Copies of this chain bind each other. A is one copy, B any other.
Amino acid sequence: MQHTNLIFGILILLVLIIGCTYIPTPGELDIIANRIHQKVLTIDSHTDTPLRFMDQEYRLNERHDPRKSGGKVDFPRMKEGGLDAIFFAAFIGQGPRTPEGNEKAQNHVQDIIDMIHKVLQNNTAIAELAITPQDAYRIEKSGKRAVYIGIENGYAIGKNIGLIQKFYDQGARYITLSHTRNNDICDSSTDEAGPEHHGLSEFGKQVVREMNRIGMLIDVSHISDEAFYDVLEVSQTPVIASHSCARAICDHPRNLNDDMLKKLAANGGVIQMCILSAYVKTPEPNPERDAAFKAFRQKYTSFDNLSEAEQKAARQEWYAIDLQYPPKLATVSDVVDHIDHIVKVAGIDHVGIGTDFDGGGGVDGCYDVSEMPNITRELVKRGYSEKEIRKIWGGNFMRVFRKVQEYSQK
């Protein structure tokens, strides 16, 4: 330990003396990057890991091989990857916007939240529910993993605004306003039917105000550009994009263009870099994979008509296709190209990390949570300082989180 400190001290001195002209060797980079990675609070603002343990067979206290359909997150690999805090998404795919559909969505999200609490109940020695920004720092200090709850898709509340408080009281701290299709709150960036509300609906505006009042973070990932601008207008607090990238680097409607990035910075918000390969880098053609997934989509036109057993079978089929016809993945370097761009356009105070692991996230070099230090390594390589890396890995997100909570307490 003493020895490592000495080496590190000498390295720092060397870096200071030789200045910008000195390029660290790969070994030195590792030492510097690991040290920073361990020191700063690291938070991943979006994973769909509950999809794994809702199948009941996936135990978060056991280590899994991510390449054997084993999931990309568990507590042992979080520790290996130096990830201190994580948001588990209670995700509901968009289904029918009817009273029955809404009730089903609410119940399903409730089941996921119940299950997250249950998982934590069984792992008090290694993980703990976090509900405030301070919690993550405290839990990190105790050597445990901090687990936050987010809700992916405002469909979870249907048309019942009271559910925001209900879910908040059970620990949920953000709601992604939509998923891949329009809902009663706003338009989605990817609904093939095109815009319906041209931004936020009237109900959506009420939802945003209620989230402000309660202290629930507003997540603009997935929503349409028009909805994004509406949210910034209505919200009295900074917002987050829990898992999105820069459209200038990879042209996908899920990503934010430069104007949006600037407006987000002016709002005081933060974009949490998504490491889902197709949003990071436009994939090269892969006809076999495309055909297999097309067949899959034709077979399962809607998840919502399936029984739980059928949904589970469908998920497993999806994983099997993904393994059989693996995509050519973007790299950690591609990911940091986005970060560089966001920093250039919006500034160092407005970017973070939200992997979307277990929801499609994972690139070459950061395929699962155990490989997260590689992002820090690339940042150090490109000259980011410890202070800047601390902002990216959690400082920026936590600033927004605190602002939102403070506004609600006023």
Contacts and interface: CB of A to CB of B under 8 A. Distances in A.
A121 B124 CA distance: 14
Interface string A109-131: 00001100110011111000101
Given A117-B117, A117-B118, A169 B138 contact: no
Interface string A44-72: 00000000000000000000000000000
A132 to B, nearest CB: 8
A171 B131 contact: no
A117 B168 CA distance: 16
Nearest to A114: B121
A305 interface: no
Contacts of A129: 124
Interface in A95-149: 113-114, 117-118, 121-125, 129, 131, 138
A385 interface: no
Contacts of A286: none
Nearest to A126: B169
A235 to B, nearest CB: 22
Contacts of A117: 117-118, 121
A206 interface: no
Q: Give the number of copies in the complex.
A: 2
Nearest to A123: B169
Nearest to A125: B169
Contacts of A138: 138
Nearest to A116: B121
B114 A170 contact: no
Contact of A124 (B114, B123, B125, B171): B171
A182 B122 CA distance: 30
A71 B333 CA distance: 61
A169 B122 contact: yes
Nearest to A121: B117
A170 B124 contact: yes
B121 A170 contact: yes
Contacts of A169: 122-125
A316 to B, nearest CB: 28
A397 to B, nearest CB: 20
A171 B124 CA distance: 6
Nearest to A134: B142
A168 B126 CA distance: 12
A405 B171 CA distance: 28
Contacts of A170: 121-122, 124
A131 B124 contact: yes
Interface in A154-187: 168-171
Interface string A318-332: 000000000000000
Nearest to A120: B117
Contacts of A125: 168-169
A354 to B, nearest CB: 23
A118 B114 CA distance: 8
A123 B170 CA distance: 7
A124 to B, nearest CB: 5
A114 B118 CA distance: 8
A113 B124 CA distance: 13
A62 to B, nearest CB: 14
Contacts of A113: 121
Which among A113, A131, A169 has the highest number of chain B CB atoms within 10 Å? A169
19 contacts: A113-B121, A114-B118, A114-B121, A117-B117, A117-B118, A117-B121, A121-B170, A121-B171, A122-B169, A122-B170, A123-B169, A124-B129, A124-B131, A124-B169, A124-B170, A124-B171, A125-B168, A125-B169, A138-B138
By Cβ-Cβ distance, the 3 closest A-B pairs, closest first, are A117-B121, A124-B171, A125-B169
Given A122-B169, A124-B129, A124-B169, 6 more contacts: A114-B118, A121-B170, A123-B169, A124-B171, A125-B168, A125-B169
